[in-house]
Amino acid sequence: MTTLSSDQLLAIHAATQKLLPDAINFLTELVRIDTRNPPGNNYRKIVELIGNKLQSFGYDVKYVLLTPEETDELAPHGEKLERINVIGVLPPSASSTSGKIIHFNGHVDVVHEGDISRWNFDPFGGEVKNGKIYGRGVSDMKGGIAAQIYAIETLSAAGLKLRGTIEQSAVVDEESTGIRNAGMGYLVEKGYITKEKTTAVIITEPLNSGNVCCGHRGTIWGDIIFYGKSSHGSMPALGVNAVQNCAKFITIATEELSVLHETKRDPKVIPVEAQKASLAFTVIQGGTNTNSVPDICKVSFDRRLVPGESLDQARSEIHSILQRLASEDSNFKYKYEERYAVEPVWVDPEQPLSCIIRNAIQTVTGIESGVVCSPGSDDQRFVVQGAGLEACIIYGPGNIKNVHCYDEELSLEDLRIAIEVMAIGTAELVGLE
């Protein structure tokens, strides 16, 4: 399985235990910086904290700052706050090099804490209790950033010299999605990660430390606007009721597509509730007053695609129902609009990168690694679809079920396991002296 000697494995294991308190302290510092997005608070503060840490570990550090024009274009939700990312490059410590470059990536932004009264811990406190750390972003994904940095520091503490280059990036605006964005999307567009240069990318999102995640589902977010004709509510026959046309579409689409989506399942998606393709109608706006027939009604929808489906197929399912209803009724008028769309991502789970991390999981935990697909989209799409680099997986500490929720937590043992897995995996990927 592993090509490392038992002495090397023991040294790595001992180093993870020695460095874990430092990794926890660093994670606490990260959590204490409020980086809620939107709008994207304190990005400079957090990327400088990470940059300084990388510099202290011997990395060459570069900050990638967007211009105000780029910020307006790529982060329209960002209230003109600064968008800045950091990249650290650690040259090989061995005398002979393998020429390989492994890039670790995490996002610094977090989602809002929600109703503060429902937290039992300070969301920006990083409190440690009973073997867990609590706070917004401990799992998604400041824990991953701490793990990716301390995995490499573990190898150095174990006295092992790497034959390849390590890159670490911490980026903004993952949580705000976008076909393009100011974080990982921007780094890919600017050529910091390329198919030609980069050997492999590991994004340390929380898909459970016992799993290698090889992809994510696709998404379409859009609106359908129904147009009618207003009339007095006492004479509805004189008008065309846009709310009723909207309701008719929702009813028919839900009935017909839920049957179809039953057949579109991917058992690799976690959690199990996300294994099916789905269409959810999420917001309705229509009508102005009780005694007027509404002439406009808008419904927002969230369509999730499993690997194997395509955006074009998913769109045509919706369009064919709309077109049929319009052909049956000349008063059924609508407009279809999309705000965000991304194809599902799935990379080969048998590729070397994935096999090496799966083996490392087995070495550390004694349990066979899972191969999973993420329910939502993440920055993997920029690397796989944007840069065309297939050697990109998700691996990090934390449980996907325990993110974006109250009392977000991360088990400290899970953090340590992820550090050890990535340390062993990196040694295998780039080679040791």
Question: Which positions lie near Zn ion, rule CB under 5 A?
Answer: 140-141, 205
Nearest one of 397, 357, 366, 389 to 149, comparing CA atoms = 397
Residue nearest to Zn ion (CB): 140
- Category of 208 on φ-ψ map: left (φ > 0), alpha (ψ -120 to 50) or beta: left
Q: Between residues 141 and 347, which has the closer beta carbon with respect to Zn ion?
A: 141
165, 100 contact by CB (below 8 A) = yes
**126-to-49, 75, 205 alpha-carbon distances in Å:** 16, 28, 18
Quick check: 405 and 271 in contact, CB under 8 A? no
E-strand stretches of 276-432: 278-286, 296-305, 333-342, 345-346, 370-374, 392-394, 409-411
User: Using CA atoms, how far apart are residues 296 and 300, in angstroms rounded to an integer?
Assistant: 14
For residue 255, the minimal CB distance to Zn ion (Å) is 34
- State the pairing for strand pair 127-129/101-107: unpaired
Cα–chain center distance at 292: 44
What's the rounded Cα separation, in Å, for the pair 150 and 397? 12
Residues 357, 202: contact at Cβ < 8 Å?
Answer: yes
Question: Which amino acid, one-letter code, is at 56?
Answer: S
**Which residues have a Cβ under 8 Å from the Cβ of 26 and sit 6 or more positions away?**
53, 146, 149, 150
**195 phi, psi to nearest 5 deg:** -60, -35
Q: At what angle do helices 311-328 and 242-262 cross, to 10 degrees?
A: 140
Tally of CB atoms within 10 A around 190: 11
Backbone dihedral angles phi then psi of residue 273, each to the nearest 5 degrees: -65, -15
How far separated are the first and last CA of the chain, in Å rounded?
19
Assigned token pair, 360 = 């490392």
Task: Find, among 235, 243, 232, 305, the residue nearest to 275 by Cα.
Answer: 305
Half-sphere exposure of residue 31, counting CA atoms within 13 Å on the CB side? 31
Name which of 176 and 199 has its Cβ closer to Zn ion.
176
Q: Do residues 138 and 151 touch, judged by C-beta distance below 8 A?
A: no
